[in-house]
């Protein structure tokens, strides 16, 4: 028979105390699933409480699914989730890792933990209660000022902090843009390209058109009204849109009302040779270019901070029509990042990473050069990937399978096409080297030699 010491506590009805005792026993497994509970009558006699107390407790347990009743038989313990174990030690739960060396995804740049952690402590001390206030939906002023300053100093882009909108990742911002520019518009995206962009516009309800690329990038087709491109460095081809094409695109966007260009500048920080061309945003005099960037590549994918820079008229429209949206980035991360930029750490980090990635790229290029078989490297001047042309009789799926068999997870250029890829794009591996360790390079070297 269940026996509990039920004490009267101020504010806690007796039935509630009983309910809690039984629930605790069920949750800890002392009462096992399927076990029958005493009848109400016998329990109230045993505990010396009124029948209504037991009745209320049982009803609460019934309502919450801890027990069930079978007519004329009695009450039975249900199978419920048990109490969780203690917080697991980090060392016991290593990140899930595939067995293959993965060249298709994003890596984690070497992150300045010590600095970040110190800034976090400073932010906590300096801002305190201020960190708890509701946030301006476009991001805190300090962060927008810091971003504007960074873009001015290191990207040659003069922007008004008031035109910056900060969000938890570009996915959210793309969705916001569809709601701002209209889902009745037709969004042109690059083919081949980063397939997610197409997916997001489609799922947001917009019409989409795939724009094939020539050697200067894309040109919008007749249907396109909003053009989404990454002129600084196209993924996966690595192409940089030359100035002449940039001028053509700006001419196109200005030629008709309601046209816009979304300039995705996602990894422009990692350019290894020469100076980057000015952004379309910097060249835009008509107020039709929306600039986007993210700290995902330049800091870490787990820091969910992206931003866009809108023409002032669009920012006004956004705040008027969509101003009800709350901000999406925690204040704490925003203040920390603002300091990280303002105090020069972001620039230092980028420079360090650029050197690091360049060295890694050079190692890979050397490896390729030493290969007996003819391999050709293309578009290696920027970003964190290059194309490796393999002179092979294998089809692309066969090539990918052959690499996988040797422990190398990699994708072909043709796999980044949504529609059927042109015949001449066969045999190009997309080598994304941002996430490789030293040991990985050795594996890669071995695989390349056998290609």
Q: Which residues, numbered 130-159, are part of the site for its own copies (CB under 8 A)?
A: 130-135, 141-142, 145-146, 148-149, 152-153, 156-159
10 binds its own copies (CB under 8 A): no
Nearer to its own copies, 95 or 372 (CB): 95
Instruction: Answer whether 6's CB lies under 8 Å from 56's CB.
Output: no
d(Cα 66, Cα 26) in Å, to the nearest integer? 7
Q: Considering only 171-179, 211-219, 221-229, 251-259, which stretch makes contact with its own copies by CB under 8 A?
A: 171-179
Site for its own copies in 65-84 (CB under 8 A): 65-66, 80-81, 83-84
Cα(19)–Cα(328) distance, rounded to whole angstroms? 40
Contact stretch for its own copies (CB under 8 A) within 172-180, 211-219, 365-373, 387-395: 172-180
| Residues 194-213 close enough to bind its own copies by CB under 8 A | 195-196, 199-200, 203-205
Cβ of residue 79: shortest distance to its own copies, in angstroms? 10
- Cβ 375 to its own copies, closest distance in Å? 27
Nearest to 212 by CA among 431, 397, 388, 420: 420
Q: Are 360 and 433 in contact (CB under 8 A)?
A: yes
Tell me the DSSP string of 246-276: HHHHHHHHHSSTT-EEEEE-TTTT-B-SSPP
The H helix count followed by the E strand count for the chain is: 15, 16
* Three-class secondary structure of residue 412 per DSSP: strand
The candidate with the shortest Cα–Cα distance to 245, out of 214, 271, 270, is: 214
Cβ proximity to its own copies, 358 vs 426, nearer residue: 358
| Cβ 232 to its own copies shortest distance, Å | 14
27/40 with CB nearer its own copies: 27
Burial class (CB in 10 A: 0-12, 13-18, 19+), 115: middle
CB of 176 to its own copies, least distance (A): 9
Please list every residue from 299 through 318 that binds its own copies, using CB under 8 A: 300-305
Rounded Cα–Cα distance for residues 94 and 413 (Å):
32
Q: At what angle do helices 331-342 and 345-370 cross, to 10 degrees?
A: 80
Among 4, 21, 25, 27, binds its own copies (CB under 8 A): 27
User: Binding its own copies by CB under 8 A: which of 60, 138, 225, 298?
Assistant: 60
Give the total of residues touching its own copies (CB under 8 A): 93
Nearer to its own copies, 64 or 221 (CB): 64
Looking at residues 84 to 113 of the shown chain, list those that interact with its own copies (rule: CB under 8 A): 84, 86-90, 93-95, 105-106, 108-109, 111, 113
φ/ψ (deg, to 5) at 269: -65, -25
Site string for its own copies, 240-279 (x = CB under 8 A): -----------------------------------x-xx-
Measured CA to CA, the distance from residue 83 to residue 89 in angstroms comes to 17
């Amino acid at each position: 028979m269940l026996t509990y010491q039920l004490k009267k506590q101020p504010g806690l009805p007796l039935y509630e105390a009983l309910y809690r005792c039984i629930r605790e026993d069920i949750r800890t497994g002392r009462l096992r699933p399927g076990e029958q509970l005493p009848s109400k009558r016998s329990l109230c006699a045993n505990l010396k409480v009124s029948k209504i107390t037991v009745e209320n407790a049982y009803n609460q347990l019934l309502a919450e699914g801890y027990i069930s009743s079978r007519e004329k038989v009695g009450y039975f313990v249900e199978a419920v989730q048990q109490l969780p174990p203690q917080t697991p030690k980090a060392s016991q739960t290593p990140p899930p890792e595939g067995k293959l060396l993965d060249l298709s995804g994003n890596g984690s740049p070497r992150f300045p933990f010590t600095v970040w952690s110190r800034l976090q402590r400073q932010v906590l001390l300096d801002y305190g209660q201020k960190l708890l206030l509701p946030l301006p939906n476009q991001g805190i002023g300090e962060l927008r000022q810091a971003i504007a300053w960074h873009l001015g100093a290191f990207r040659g882009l003069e922007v008004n902090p008031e035109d910056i909108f900060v969000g938890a990742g570009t996915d959210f911002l793309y969705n916001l843009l569809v709601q701002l520019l209209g889902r009745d518009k037709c969004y042109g995206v690059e083919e081949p390209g980063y397939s997610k962009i197409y997916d997001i516009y489609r799922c947001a309800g917009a019409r989409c058109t795939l724009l094939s690329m020539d050697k200067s990038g894309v040109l919008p087709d007749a249907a396109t009204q909003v053009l989404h491109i990454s002129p600084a460095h196209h993924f996966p081809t690595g192409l940089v849109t030359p100035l002449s094409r940039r001028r053509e695109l700006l001419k196109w966007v200005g030629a008709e009302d309601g046209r816009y260009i979304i300039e995705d500048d996602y990894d422009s920080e990692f350019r290894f040779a020469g100076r980057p061309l000015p952004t379309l945003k910097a060249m835009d005099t008509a107020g039709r270019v929306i600039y986007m960037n993210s700290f995902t590549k330049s800091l870490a994918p787990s820091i969910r901070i992206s931003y866009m820079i809108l023409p002032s008229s669009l920012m006004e429209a956004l705040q008027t029509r969509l101003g009800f949206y709350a901000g999406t980035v925690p204040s704490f991360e925003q203040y920390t990042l603002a300091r990280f930029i303002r105090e020069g750490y972001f620039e230092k980090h980028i420079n360090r990473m650029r050197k690091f990635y360049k060295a890694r790229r050079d190692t890979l290029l050397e490896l390729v050069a030493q290969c007996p078989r003819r391999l050709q490297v293309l578009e290696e001047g920027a970003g964190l990937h290059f194309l490796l042309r393999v002179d092979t009789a294998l089809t692309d799926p066969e090539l990918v399978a052959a690499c996988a068999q040797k422990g190398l997870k990699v994708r072909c250029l043709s796999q980044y096409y949504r529609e059927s890829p042109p015949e001449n794009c066969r045999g190009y591996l997309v080598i994304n080297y941002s996430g490789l360790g030293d040991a990985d390079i050795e594996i890669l070297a071995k695989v390349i030699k056998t290609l």
